[in-house]
Amino acid sequence: MSGMTPPGAPADDRRRWMVLVVLCASLLLVAVDATVLHVAVPAVSEELRPSGVELLWIVDVYPLVCAALLILFGTLGDRVGRRRVLLLGYGCFGLASALAAYAPTAGVLILARALLGVGGAMIMPATLSILRQVFPDRRERALAIGVWSAVAAVGAAIGPLVGGVLLEHFWWGSVFLVNIPLMALCLPVGALLLPESTGDRSGPWDVAGALLAAAGLFAVILAVKRAGGGDLFTPGTALAAGLGAALLVTFVRRQRRRGDPLIDLSAFSRPAFGTSVGCIVLTVLALVGLALVAAQYLQLVLGLSPLETGLRLLPLSLAAIAAGLAGSRMLHWLGPRTMVAFGFGLTAVAVLTLTCLGEQDKPLVMTLGFVLLGFGLETTLFGSYESMLSDVPAGQAGGAAAIGETAYQFGAGIGIALLGSVMNAMYGPAVRGLNGVPAADSEAAGHSLGEAYTVAARLGGEAGEHLRRTARDAFVHGMHMTLLASALMLVLGALAALRLPRELCDGRGRKADERELLPSGVTRP
């Protein structure tokens, strides 16, 4: 725990749980902001009149910038102080939120969203690495990571719902304005409560390596997002993918040559670390598969309002929170391998259960599926994050946390590209070329179910009703195929989890002391 202000009094022991509350509150906002704008796109388009390219960047620049800078700021926190980077992130996030809320033009909104990504990249790895330092006892740290990962999962899931509720009562800028009071509170409270900590600070910080990683990740994730948006076989996508791969290969070679690398690449050869990172990617990929269709299904197929949609998704959030709170005990009893594999299996069962949903509302089936889904996803994320973070020394916590968060963002991008392609392949051809529907209208309806409803309302009569019915049937079929593809990814994840160690390991890859890992009064049979 090099560089950490040591907790010396009992009050410090009690205060660390307050630290967890502060860290999770800020993480919740960052996770919500990744998806909150999706439902506000029509309102933004109406007021700011962005071009198609500008609208794409308004939505995508936040996750792109955030994912690209995670390693840069995660490793910087290890060098100059994690609390310092976190507090700078709070300030940047709050100021960017105010700029976004009152952006007069599309260009200003794009700039504000990019600055939000910078702030998010400062906040996300710092919260997890500070937890690694504040909770040196592994039993308590497991519980803290469970709460942290549940907040991250819930935040991403409720983003569109928060945006929908706000837009029912306020203007589109309100989805950003809600960030400011909480960030204004987190900044002084964090400065007062959070301990400062650093890594061992051996050697100079590799600025060139950090910039190589940022540029490479930006290019690769941009290529993935372009592929998910339907631009798979285009020169722009190929150029971004090739440039990103070249920069990342250069980064890896540079790290292997340096005596004081930003990231210990040898950690990826250890199952507890490398496999955990892969499991995070597959888990988020499946989560995106659900998010891709859930909001549209609930609102466009079943006709629910944003508030009703939020209530339907509430069991998922509650189950995720329950899994996070129970995760510490499950990890102690099952070990990383069994816990993560069990989480993948349970999530696969949940996804297959949701394939029973159709055009008729089935609230009991939906609730069961969402409960299993929330519990399974959080179980997998908990086991993966805990195994990954505890496998590295405390001095490398920032870099490890950044890698985990980068894996999360990369999994989301891959999920949109892969599962979005499955959905489009099932939906589009079934809607285009309908008899009695003009070719231009049929082509527009093939873009999304929402556009199909708009075209059907304009057409009216028998042709409009036929288009509406066909589009709805095609969407439900596409949803089923997307869920089946998610289930396949989850099965692959369960197989990958078999590479994880049976027993918990310490920060050097060795089996940890039983007395450190088990709850008081509990012995392993």
The pLDDT assigned to 115 comes to 92
Residue 238: both structure tokens together:
């190929």
Quick check: 343 pLDDT over 90? Answer: yes
Residue 81, domain CATH = 1.20.1250.20
Backbone φ, ψ for residue 402 (5° rounding): -65, -40
Mean pLDDT throughout 204-230? 76
3-state secondary structure of 525: coil
What is the count of structural domains for the chain? 2
Residue 108 and residue 36 share a domain: yes
Residue 235 within any structural domain of the chain: yes
Residue 148 within any structural domain of the chain: yes
For residue 259, count other CB atoms closer than 10 A to its CB: 6
Residue 132 and residue 221 share a domain: no
C-beta separation of 392 from 267 below 8 A: yes
Q: Is the pTM of this model over 0.85?
A: no
Greater model confidence, 165 or 363? 363
Kindly give the residue spans of alpha helices, DSSP state H, lying in 258-357.
271-296, 306-354
For residue 466, count other CB atoms closer than 10 A to its CB: 16
Residue 90 and residue 158 share a domain: yes
Burial state string for 197-219 with b = 16 or more CB within 10 A and e = fewer than 16: bbbeeeeeebeebbebbbbbbbb
pLDDT in tens, 181-203: 888 888 888 888 777 766 655 55
Share of the chain above pLDDT 70, in %: 83
Residue 131 and residue 84 share a domain: yes
Output the CA angle 266-418-309, nearest 5 degrees.
Answer: 110
Residue 107: both structure tokens together:
């260009």
Mean pLDDT throughout 76-100? 87
Instruction: Name the least confident of 74-88, 251-265, 327-341.
Output: 251-265
CA distance 3 to 360: 59
The pLDDT assigned to 518 comes to 37
The pLDDT assigned to 201 comes to 57
CA distance 114 to 134: 30
Burial state string for 142-165 with b = 16 or more CB within 10 A and e = fewer than 16: bbbbbbbbbbbbbbbbbbbbbbbb
Residue 250 and residue 183 share a domain: no
Quick check: 100 pLDDT over 50? Answer: yes
Most confident of 20-29, 267-276, 466-475: 466-475
Task: Quote the mean pLDDT of the chain.
Answer: 78
The pLDDT assigned to 347 comes to 92
Closest among 171, 168, 185, 77 to 122, alpha carbons compared? 77
Q: Which domain holds residue 152?
A: 12-204
DSSP letter at 513 equals P
Q: Please enumerate in sequence order all residues whose Cβ is within 8 A of that of 109, keeping only pairs 6 or more positions apart, or say none.
A: 44, 48, 50, 58, 100, 103
Mean pLDDT throughout 482-492? 89
pLDDT in tens, 449-474: 878 888 888 887 887 888 888 888 88
Residue with tokens 């066909």: 470
Residue 122 and residue 50 share a domain: yes
Most confident of 1-15, 18-32, 136-150, 383-397: 18-32
C-beta separation of 456 from 445 below 8 A: yes
Residue 223 and residue 79 share a domain: no
Greater model confidence, 478 or 2? 478
Most confident of 120-129, 233-242, 465-474: 465-474
